[in-house]
């Protein structure tokens, strides 16, 4: 018996070793391949790092130790599935990303001779960005900066994701490992971060450096494109054309090198086609009909070739359709150019650039000048950007000014035109008191213009007045108090009472629509108040859990709420209100379980559905 057992044990051990050996050999091969090849091209749409993708099974089997502790630290551990389904998902992911960021950013210092130092910094950047975004969306981190836009109802403020740490990691990678394949990408990220922070000339310098030092990298294309946009905005069309030409060359070179000796695949051709058509339009603007016609000719042949492909996916088909429309546009413009030529009229060149004037103003907090507030003039016409689009919006704005110690700002060289003002301000003042622009309440009358019109002289904007806001204490994970959530805030001097309203955060209001009759849903979308309390005398109030149940109760796992507290005097006059980006919360595990236990049946739950459900349960 003992011998048989021994034999079984030996067999199982061999089998296990065989399986593990398979994984070890596979891991060794993958590692060897990754260290000897440029793996940046394996990045998919979801930004999961290469090593994490490839060593997923090894990580699950705890077999990453075979390449040493630095590799183990580099791969890390996957987020616990239990945590993801028991606590708020965004918050749990934000925590995971933050932990990984810290782990990865420390790796090069901890293991100076590690093979994975560059990759660790690269992955650290991705985790850092994820942590900032998820931390903001998942109410895990208070925003340090607010982004405020003005509309007819007053100022609207939202938190700005803090990407400084991510930018710092990219800077480290670009400076410490300039020969790494990740260096051009890191440099591009640094340039973007500089542009987002309003340091435009520094950003352009980095793009120029990228173009000069890494001309064969795919990022050279993006750098040339960014420089093209800058030159175009400045009205330097000739220079813009040169940069566009370089972008086209970079895209073509990268594609030709990657697919040497082959016809270019559809995706690469479509990308090149876009550059070619843009360049053709630009040539036409510069009255260069011949080169424009030639470019259009090449583009036409390329478009015809892509169209001949059989296996285009939907995205490529859409791209191709857009390119063909663009091509038709260029062809039409060429026809117009021929019309001018046939009628012996000189082609209209680029429209003269509008004259430039400075725009200045001042920012004050309770009458005292405030330093470090940024006023942005945007040509954007699509209202307020969301948290995802915000960094891109900030990156694309040229006309920005930051207040000095006297609270004054000056934006020089603003071409005549109409602009939307936007403001980036600190979420809290030096004494940690939250601040907001005046005129946050509807029809509050901020005195600041909704549109800045620059005509034919320098513009002096009315002062932008900021004021302190009511300070709230409930933020992030909210535990239950009985069958409610306690919302707390600081006392406001002179307040006789407070009005409190609880809403879902902006992008989650759709989860509560069914509780409202169909005809009132539009009004609910505008102001989705889930629960309110008027004339609260104390500085806390209990919001019943039952009022926070979404239409599909399990969605409570990802739900985020915000609350508004308005301090009122004895006559009901508004004295102050809180800063909503600093007053967001989500339900703790206990609160959510309690809520689901006491949750009323979801709206629209008909007797038939109930019967069907009970039958299913019986089965």
Please report, for residues 44, 253, 460, the alpha-carbon distance to residue 223 in angstroms, rounded to integers and kept in the order given: 21, 15, 35
Nearer to other proteins, 383 or 572 (CB): 383
- Cβ distance to other proteins smaller for residue 354 or 599: 354
Task: Give the nearer residue to other proteins in terms of CB position, either 456 or 618.
Answer: 456
| Shortest Cβ 445–other proteins spacing (Å) | 13
Name which of 75 and 299 has its Cβ closer to other proteins.
Answer: 299
Plot region of 68 (φ>0 → left; ψ -120 to 50 → alpha; else → beta): left
Helices 117-137/183-196 angle, 10° precision: 30
On whether the CB atoms of residues 436 and 579 are closer than 8 A, the answer is yes
d(CA 378, CA 422): 7
Give the residue with the Cβ less far from other proteins, 367 or 442: 442
Number of CB atoms found within 10 A of residue 26's CB: 15
Q: Which of 57, 60, 54 is nearest to 34 (CA)?
A: 54
CA distances from 513 to 88, 485, 532, 552 (A): 21, 22, 17, 11
Of residues 1 and 308, the one with the C-beta less far from other proteins: 308
- Alpha-carbon distance of 76 to 78, in angstroms, equals 7
Task: Pick the closer one to other proteins by CB: 227 or 284.
Answer: 284
Residue 290: CB atoms within 10 A of its CB come to: 8
- Return the number of the residue (258 or 388) whose C-beta is nearest other proteins: 258
Q: Output the smallest distance, CB 416 to other proteins, in A.
A: 2
Smallest distance, Å, CB 332 to other proteins? 4
Contact present, 556 and 549 (Cβ < 8 Å): yes
SS3 431: coil
Distance in angstroms (rounded) separating the CA atoms of residues 166 and 186: 10
Pick between residue 59 and residue 354 the one whose CB is nearest to other proteins. 354
Task: Find the Cα–Cα–Cα–Cα dihedral 522, 523, 524, 528, rounded to 10°.
Answer: 130
Nearest CA among 598, 553, 563 for reference residue 583: 563
Question: Minimal distance in Å, beta carbon 8 to other proteins?
Answer: 59
Shortest distance, position 588 Cβ to other proteins, whole Å: 38
Give CA angle at 25 (24, 26), nearest 5°: 90
Q: DSSP characters for 473-495?
A: ---EEE-EETTEEEEEB---TT-
- Number of other CB atoms surrounding residue 456 within 10 Å: 8
The burial of 494, by beta-carbon neighbours within 10 Å (0-12 exposed, 13-18 middle, 19 or more buried), is given as exposed
Q: What percentage of the chain's residues is helix, strand, coil (to nearest 5)? A: 50, 20, 30
Q: How far is the CB of 449 from other proteins (least distance, A)?
A: 13
Cα atoms in the Cβ-side hemisphere of radius 13 Å centred on 170: 22
Q: Quick one: three-class SS letters along 160-172?
A: ECCCHHHHHHHHH
Instruction: Tell me which DSSP letter residue 197 carries.
Output: T
Neighbours of 595 (CB within 10 A): 24
Nearest to 591 by CA among 550, 538, 548: 548
DSSP string covering 375-410: EEEE---S----TTTHHHHHHH--EEEE--TTSEEE
Least distance to other proteins from the beta carbon of 271, Å?
14
Q: Which C-beta is closer to other proteins: that of 81 or that of 345?
A: 345
Q: Closest approach of Cβ 497 to other proteins, in Å?
A: 29
Which lies closer to other proteins via its Cβ, residue 85 or residue 453?
Answer: 453
Binding site for other proteins (CB under 8 A): 151-152, 256, 259-264, 277-278, 281-282, 284-285, 294, 297-298, 300-305, 307-309, 322, 325-326, 328-329, 331-333, 335-336, 338-340, 342-349, 351-352, 354-355, 357, 381, 415-418, 451, 453-456, 522-523
Report the SS3 class of residue 312: coil
Work out how close the CB of 253 gets to other proteins at its nearest, in angstroms, rounded to a whole number: 9
Find the shortest distance in angstroms from Cβ 254 to other proteins.
Answer: 14
Nearer to other proteins, 433 or 513 (CB): 513
Residue 156 or 575 having the CB closest to other proteins: 156
Q: Shortest gap between Cβ of 241 and other proteins (angstroms)?
A: 11
Of the pair 86, 333, the CB lying nearest other proteins is at 333
What residue ranges in 288-333 does DSSP mark as E strands? none
Q: H or E stretch including 254? A: helix 237-258
Rounded to a whole number of angstroms, the minimum distance from the CB of residue 273 to other proteins is 12
Q: Which is nearer to other proteins, 278 or 562 (CB)?
A: 278
């Amino acid at each position: 018996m003992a011998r048989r057992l021994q034999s079984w044990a030996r067999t199982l051990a061999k089998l296990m070793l065989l399986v593990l050996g398979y994984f070890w050999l596979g891991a060794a091969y993958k590692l060897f391949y990754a260290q000897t090849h440029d793996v940046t091209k394996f990045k998919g749409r979801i930004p999961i790092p290469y090593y994490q993708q490839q060593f997923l099974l090894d990580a699950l089997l705890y077999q990453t130790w075979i390449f040493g502790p630095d590799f183990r630290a580099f791969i890390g551990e996957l987020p616990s599935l239990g945590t993801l389904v028991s606590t708020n998902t965004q918050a749990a992911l934000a925590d995971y990303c933050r932990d990984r960021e810290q782990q990865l950013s420390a790796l090069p210092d901890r293991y100076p001779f590690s093979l994975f130092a560059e990759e660790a910094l690269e992955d650290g950047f991705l985790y850092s960005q994820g942590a900032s975004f998820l931390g903001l969306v998942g109410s895990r981190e208070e925003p340090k900066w607010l982004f405020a836009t003005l509309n007819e109802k007053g100022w609207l403020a939202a938190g700005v994701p803090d990407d400084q740490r991510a930018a710092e990691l990219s800077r480290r990678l670009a400076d410490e490992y300039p020969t790494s394949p990740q260096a051009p990408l890191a440099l591009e990220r640094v340039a973007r971060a500089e542009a987002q922070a309003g340091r435009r000339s520094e950003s352009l310098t980095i793009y120029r450096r990228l173009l000069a030092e890494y001309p064969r990298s795919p990022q050279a294309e993006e750098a040339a494109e960014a420089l093209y946009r800058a030159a175009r905005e400045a009205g330097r069309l000739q220079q813009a054309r040169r940069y566009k030409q370089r972008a086209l060359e970079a895209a073509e070179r990268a594609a030709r090198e990657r697919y040497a000796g082959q016809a270019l695949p559809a995706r690469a051709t479509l990308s090149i086609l876009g550059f070619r058509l843009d360049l053709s339009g630009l040539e036409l603007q510069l009255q260069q009909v011949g080169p424009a016609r030639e470019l259009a000719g090449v583009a036409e042949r390329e478009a015809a070739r892509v169209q001949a492909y059989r296996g285009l996916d939907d995205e490529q088909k859409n791209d191709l359709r857009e390119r063909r429309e663009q091509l038709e546009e260029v062809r039409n413009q060429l026809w117009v150019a021929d019309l001018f030529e046939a009628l012996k009229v000189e082609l209209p060149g680029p429209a003269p650039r509008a004259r430039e004037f400075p725009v200045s103003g001042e920012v004050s907090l309770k009458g005292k000048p405030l330093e470090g507030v940024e006023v942005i003039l945007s040509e954007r016409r699509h209202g307020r950007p969301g948290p995802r689009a915000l960094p891109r919006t900030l990156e694309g704005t040229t006309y920005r000014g930051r207040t000095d110690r006297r609270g004054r700002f000056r934006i020089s060289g603003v071409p005549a035109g109409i602009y939307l003002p936007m403001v980036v301000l600190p979420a809290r003042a030096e004494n940690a008191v939250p601040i907001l622009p005046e005129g946050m309440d509807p029809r509050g009358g901020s005195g600041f213009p909704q549109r800045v019109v620059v005509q034919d002289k320098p513009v002096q904007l009315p002062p932008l007045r900021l004021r302190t806001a009511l300070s709230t204490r409930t933020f992030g994970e909210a535990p239950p108090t009985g069958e409610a959530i306690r919302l707390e805030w600081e006392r406001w001097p002179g307040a006789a009472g407070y009005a409190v309203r609880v809403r879902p955060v902006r992008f989650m209001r759709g989860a509560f629509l069914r509780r409202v009759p169909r005809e009132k849903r539009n009004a609910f979308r505008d102001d989705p108040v889930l629960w309110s309390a008027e004339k609260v005398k104390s500085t806390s109030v209990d919001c019943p859990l039952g009022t926070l149940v979404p239409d599909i109760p399990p969605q409570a796992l990802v739900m985020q709420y915000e609350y508004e507290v308005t301090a009122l005097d004895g006559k009901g006059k508004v004295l102050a209100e809180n800063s909503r980006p600093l007053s967001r919360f989500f339900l703790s595990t206990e609160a959510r379980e309690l809520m689901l236990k006491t949750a009323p049946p979801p709206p629209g739950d008909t007797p038939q559905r109930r019967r069907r459900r009970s039958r299913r349960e019986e089965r």
